[in-house]
């Protein structure tokens, strides 16, 4: 879908204008996305396999839920909407724990110039994975991996194993650290 999204400066400040997502990616305008990493208190992280229909990194495994923020929409509103749309999970703003904003400025062979600020949240997955309803245009499959398994996938990211998006290694390491800290603090 070619929705309107708000344009930012290189520093992440809104400029008060919006444009179609296709134009934003064609011209390389800076913009926000929402990333939600779901985890379980049993020490697992939900990974989503990007749809085969995606123009960027099809069939690679990545963040549980991610999407662009529609023009005029808050980042948390987008996180809630994307969670419902992509995997059928209803969450509230209070379920979201913000862990940071990460710059991801990349150009792809497809001609897409993707200058994104990933507004990143973690959130406890409170439904069984079998209850998830996947949006096939976005998500091919989902799986839970243990913290140890997630770390092993990160360690092998440069081996061209076609599992994770290779440019995101330090981002994945940071997310894992924050999720482990959160789960450990709830067990104390």
Measured CA to CA, the distance from residue 165 to residue 56 in angstroms comes to 10
Choice between 67 and 1, residue whose per-residue pLDDT is larger:
67
Share of the chain above pLDDT 70, in %: 95
pLDDT at 63 over 70: yes
Mean pLDDT of 10-14: 96
User: Can you read off the two tokens belonging to residue 78?
Assistant: 């987008």
Neighbour tally for 49: CB within 10 Å: 18
Distance between first and last Cα of the chain = 44
Return the pLDDT at 4.
Answer: 97
Mean pLDDT across the chain: 92
Nearest to 107 by CA among 144, 56, 157: 56
How do residues 65-74 score in pLDDT, each as one tens digit? 999 999 999 9
User: Can you read off the two tokens belonging to residue 88?
Assistant: 């059928």
Burial string for 156-165 (b: 16+ CB within 10 Å, else e) reads: ebeeeeebbb
| Confidence category of residue 97, pLDDT binned at 50, 70, 90 | very high
How far, rounded to the nearest angstrom, does the alpha carbon of residue 152 sit from its chain's CA centroid? 20
- The two most distant CA atoms of the chain are separated, in Å, by 49
pLDDT at 1 over 70: no
pTM, two decimals, is 0.93
Contact present, 84 and 179 (Cβ < 8 Å): no
| Confidence category of residue 56, pLDDT binned at 50, 70, 90 | confident
pLDDT at 177 over 60: yes
pLDDT at 187 over 70: no
Cα angle value 28/46/66 (rounded, 5°):
20
pLDDT at 167 over 80: no
Pinpoint the alpha helices (H) of the chain.
21-27, 75-87, 147-155, 169-187
- Residues 6 or more apart whose Cβ sits within 8 Å of residue 45: 37, 38, 39, 64, 144, 145, 147, 150, 176, 179
Mean pLDDT of 3-16: 97
């Amino acid at each position: 879908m070619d929705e309107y999204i708000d344009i930012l400066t290189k520093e992440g400040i809104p400029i008060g204008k919006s444009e179609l997502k296709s134009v934003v990616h064609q011209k390389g305008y800076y913009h926000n996305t929402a990333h939600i990493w779901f985890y379980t208190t049993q020490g697992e992280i939900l990974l989503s396999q990007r749809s085969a229909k995606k123009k960027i990194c099809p069939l690679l495994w990545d963040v549980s839920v991610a999407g662009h923020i529609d023009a005029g929409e808050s980042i948390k509103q987008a996180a809630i909407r994307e969670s419902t749309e992509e995997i059928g999970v209803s969450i509230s703003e209070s379920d979201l724990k913000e862990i940071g904003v990460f710059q991801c400025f990349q150009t792809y062979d497809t001609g897409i110039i993707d200058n994104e600020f990933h507004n990143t949240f973690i959130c406890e997955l409170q439904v069984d994975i079998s209850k998830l309803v996947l949006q096939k245009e976005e998500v091919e499959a989902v799986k839970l991996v243990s913290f140890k398994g997630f770390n092993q996938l990160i360690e092998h990211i440069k081996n061209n194993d076609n599992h994770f998006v290779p440019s995101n290694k330090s981002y994945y390491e940071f997310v894992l650290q924050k999720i482990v800290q959160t789960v450990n603090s709830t067990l104390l």
